[in-house]
Amino acid sequence: MLMDFQNTIGRASDTLPNVDSKFEKACLCIMTEAFKRMKQERHYDLTWKETCFSACLVGYMRKIRHEKDIALRIDPESHLYREEMLNCTEDPDTAPRIDIKISGGWVHEDAYYGIEGKILVENDWGTRTASDSRRRYIATGIDNFVNGRYSDKMDRGCMVGYVVQGRASEIASKINNLLIRDGRNKEKMMNSHPIIGCSDCCQSKHTRTTDNTEIKLHHVFLTFV
């Protein structure tokens, strides 16, 4: 029975546990297209918490996946279990969760494109503090890729900024200033470029502390104001 199943869906040994630049580009395109629809249809609230923005974005991404008949799995709030957790030698409740996890035609569980979203404001607005949002973008966003909590086997990932007040360019500049202040000049966001009409996109490079390999992050600022 299992051999018949293998013949139907293929063998795990035939697939490579990798996420390349073409797959990354597809993930970024479907995400930015989802954002455009979400904003055009005014299906958002500036007072939402991060999980609401991410869940709604996933909903639109899945709609596009179905429309275009793309073989992608798009999951919100995914637990990332390490081997120790699967062996029950470490508490699985301590597993990190990434906001959006996209996988393709791989069987290998470690092959996915991870996207982490953070709410950002240029100036203090309502209950949101600008300086805190920028620091969180680094400490619980960028650094979770750097320390291997997210995408620990992949050499690329994505940070998404949900801009609910102010200008994305100014926010990005101030995040870079924080990195410089922390002595992390080489990790600044650079190479500004558009993706499917979304103009506030850039990239950064980091050294993952767990294995000293380079990891590249895309930064996509989605402005809802």
What is the pLDDT, as a whole number, of residue 181?
96
69 CB-side CA count, 13 A: 0
Could you tell me the two tokens for 66?
A: 């179905």
pLDDT of residue 107: 64
Q: How far is 119 from 163, CA to CA, in rounded Å?
A: 6
Instruction: Give me the pLDDT at residue 16, please.
Output: 55
Angstrom distance (rounded) from CA 112 to CA 18: 8
Tokens matching residue 29: 């395109």
Instruction: Count the neighbouring beta carbons within 10 Å of the beta carbon of residue 152.
Output: 18
Residues, the chain: 225
Residue 21 DSSP class: H
Q: Report the chain (225 residues): mean pLDDT per 10 consecutive residues.
A: 53 64 92 96 96 97 93 85 74 83 78 95 96 97 96 94 97 97 97 91 97 97 96
What pLDDT, on the 0 to 100 scale, is given for residue 85? 67
Q: What is the pLDDT of residue 174?
A: 97
pLDDT number for residue 10? 56
Per-residue pLDDT at 108:
73
Kindly report the backbone phi and psi dihedral angles of residue 143, in degrees, each rounded to the nearest multiple of 5, phi listed first: -70, -20
What CA–CA distance (Å, rounded) separates 47 from 106? 37
| pLDDT for position 25 | 92
